[in-house]
Amino acid sequence: MFGRGWALITGASSGFGVEFAWILAAQGCNLILVARRKAKMEALAELIKQQYRITIHVLAADLALPETPTSLFQSVQDLLSPSGAYVSVLINNAGVGHYGDFHK
Q: For 81-96, how does the pLDDT look when each residue is reduced to its tens digit (9 = 90+)?
A: 999 999 999 999 987 6
**CATH number of the CATH domain containing 13:** 3.40.50.720
Separation between Cα atoms, residue 27 and residue 5, nearest integer Å: 10
Q: For 39-68, how does the pLDDT look when each residue is reduced to its tens digit (9 = 90+)?
A: 999 999 999 999 999 999 999 999 989 999
62 near 68, Cβ under 8 Å? yes
Task: Answer whether residue 74 is part of any domain.
Answer: yes
- Predicted structure pTM score: 0.88
Task: Answer whether residue 66 is part of any domain.
Answer: yes
Task: Answer whether residue 104 is part of any domain.
Answer: no
Which domain covers residue 15, as residue numbers? Answer: 6-91
